Amino acid sequence: MIPQETVNLILDTAQIADVVSDYVTLKRRGANFVACCPFHNEKTPSFYVSPSKGIYKCFGCGKAGTAVGFVMEQEHCSYVEALRYLARKYHIEIVEEEESAEEIARRQRSESLLLVSEFARKFFSEQLQSGEGRAVGYQYYRSRGIEDATIERWGLGWAPSARTGLVDAARAAGYKDEYLLGAGLAVQNEDGSLADKFRERVMFPIHSVSGRVIAFSGRTLRADNPAKYVNSPETEIYIKSRNLLGIYFAKSDIAREDRCILVEGNVDVVMMHQLGITNVVASCGTSLTVEQVRLIKKFTENITIMYDGDSAGIHAALRGIPMVLAEGMNVHVVLLPDGDDPDSFSRKHSRDEVREYIAQNEKDFIVFKTDLLLAEAAGDPLKKAGLINDIADTIAQIPDAVKRSTYAEATAQQFGIEVSILFDRINRTRRKLQEDALKAAEREERRRRNDLPPSAYDTVVSDAQPVSEPLAEQTIQEENRILAPSERDLLYFLLRHGCDELDFESDSDYYSGNEQDKPSVADFIRDAFSDGTRMANSAYAAVYDAFFALYDEGCGQQEIVKRLLDAADRRIAEVVSQLSTEKYQLTVEAFEKSMTTTASWLVAQVPRAILGYAERRMQDRYETLRRQLPDATPEREPGILQEMVKIQSAQRRIKQRMGREKNTK
């Protein structure tokens, strides 16, 4: 754990313009800097960096934050990883707070495994440049069209035919046998001696999201070797189902283009990147897994499966579709001409031609599956019925009700059947899926109660998958849409003017009776919540609590905003960036601020915002009662109706008061 003093030192030392300029070319414009945004494609610069405020802001895509937030967005890493990145950049030593002996041992072992894996990568790369590696491995890469720059960028190499080539080199460099075995780089013979896991193979390093080498995939060049590919076994730093080949090189472009292209083979992904299509990853020689889909979802909700056009490729695509849909992602499928794979296709065509082919030939999963299965049905009514049920079961995987409805209606129209029939099948399938999920949860609960050992999936966390400090959500999820606008208004006043005083006139209902006792905007708003009310939307409630924690420490307005933008909870940073760095339009009917002073504007608008919030709370309660009414018992119904009438009356009084205050200002 990084001590708070060190965190503060890192945040105070990091210069926003210095950090951003590592990634984009900044041009000075007055006191600020401007550039084309690194997070989305644009031709006219809308990305601004303010050294005085220590923040960046894109007026095109809306992203904003401080130096640590920029690193998190650009590197797609956790909060702690971003802090470590900045500490390395500014040569700040991080002395971890006291850890238990077990934690220290576990961390040191993981680091040792990562270090020996990096040593192996360098060893394989060096072997490629001389002797056997140059004559065999390098010539293979060149025969596949892989260029020197690509070989260097991806760290491609050669595992020599000697039985202990890597083992001997690692021992000579001081690495222990236990780490060679633990990283899956060596195997132990019956006599206890070690031998290299990979021999006489071209080597593809597998990187974590943060760029550490965690495993390898080795391809034989011998026709008589039945094991074409040998991959690293699962280790403490590598879980096959959680990693994707090329994710480190592709993550930024996946996020920028808001789409991930998934291919199957090692050479496929390397050649696509070499061609200039860099939002591409491969599944490391395994069938697509839920964990891999979730890893992609960190960077985009759109995935295009690009497999070979043969039977195996088609069925692999079909297996992956339900998994992607179940995670709430949008999936398209593009099949290459039979006989081609992404590797061969990319060598025959230019980047623009490949992009055009994908754009013209990728199909929505429903169209893809329908076209494929209709051909198999060939006019057979029973097969056609099976096809419709198959598509309905696929639609049932989609968690979003609106998407399910849209796809169901489109499918019903295409096949000329009643949409209600499809919904019946979809609903039955969803109930079955929910029952299966419930049974799985019950099994897990029994395992936990009986203290049975968890699986490797539960306990082993690879460097690629941080389990704390999640990345900022691109869109804040609002649990209560009725209250959300009013809650945003109140946060706007806290973040922009929380420390400003409210100078009420002596005839105001809010005048304290003492000229020396002028409440701040923050205190005035907090008084409105003194009855124990909490904001209904969790992200906004988190910002509210974090604001007052800093406010009560005596922090000033600018310091509060800056520290909230640096918050480990990236939901807080996202909300603060939206409300404090862009022109936020209040939902209450506001006077033009330019027509009056800030002080008088606040005196008018802060109470109106609180009254507006009170009215929205009543509306929220009214809607709750309205939903209860159809199912209410005869005894309960009059009480509900009476309360609804009272709420409407109270709402009218609040609106009349808001109108009077507007007219008297």
pLDDT of residue 152: 95
d(CA 153, CA 162) in angstroms, rounded, equals: 26
Residue found by looking up tokens 């005035």 in the block: 524
pLDDT of residue 463: 31
pTM of the model: 0.61
Residues 276 and 349 in one domain: yes
Name the 3-class secondary structure at 231.
strand
pLDDT tens digits, one per residue of 507-566: 777 776 666 678 889 998 998 888 888 898 888 999 999 999 998 888 888 888 888 888
Q: Which of 57, 89, 121 is the last residue of a domain?
A: 89
pLDDT tens digits, one per residue of 27-47: 888 878 899 988 888 888 888
Residue 138 lies in a domain: yes
d(CA 12, CA 90) in angstroms, rounded, equals: 11
C-alpha radius of gyration, the chain, whole number? 30
Q: Where are the alpha helices (DSSP H) in 450-537?
A: 456-459, 484-497, 521-528
Residues 331 and 383 in one domain: no
H/E stretch holding 565 reads helix 557-565
Could you tell me the residue range of the domain that residue 267 belongs to? 246-353
Name the 3-class secondary structure at 245.
strand
Tokens representing 352 are 């623009």
pLDDT of residue 472: 34
Contacts of 112 (CB under 8 A, 6+ apart): 176, 179, 182
pLDDT of residue 476: 61
Residues 222 and 282 in one domain: no
Residue 23: how many other CB atoms lie within 10 Å = 14
pLDDT of residue 474: 38
Provide the phi-psi class of 273: left if phi over 0, else alpha when psi is between -120 and 50, else beta: alpha
CATH of the domain at 158: 3.90.980.10
| Range with the largest mean pLDDT of 273-282, 565-574, 644-653 | 273-282
Residue 197 pLDDT greater than 70, yes or no: yes
Residues 504 and 615 in one domain: yes
Domain count, the chain: 5
Residue 553 lies in a domain: yes
Q: Which of 238, 257, 285 is the last residue of a domain?
A: 238
CB 407 within 8 A of CB 330: no
Q: Which of 238, 255, 273 is the last residue of a domain?
A: 238
Q: Where are the alpha helices (DSSP H) in 183-231?
A: none
Tokens representing 76 are 């797609």
Closest CA to 152 of 113, 187, 124, 181: 124
CA-CA-CA-CA torsion sign (39, 40, 45, 47): negative
Residues 306 and 441 in one domain: no
Tokens representing 241 are 């189902």
DSSP-assigned beta bridge partners for residue 303: 260, 331
CA 141 to chain centre: 34
pLDDT of residue 598: 65
Residue 456 lies in a domain: no
DSSP code of 629? G
Contacts of 565 (CB under 8 A, 6+ apart): 55, 64, 65, 66, 69, 573, 576, 577, 580
Concatenated DSSP letters of 172-186: HTT--HHHHHHTTSE
Q: How far is CA 613 from CA 247, 528, 543, 600, in A?
A: 45, 10, 17, 20
Residues 528 and 633 in one domain: yes
Residues 56 and 166 in one domain: no
d(CA 113, CA 606) in angstroms, rounded, equals: 57
Residues 537 and 440 in one domain: no
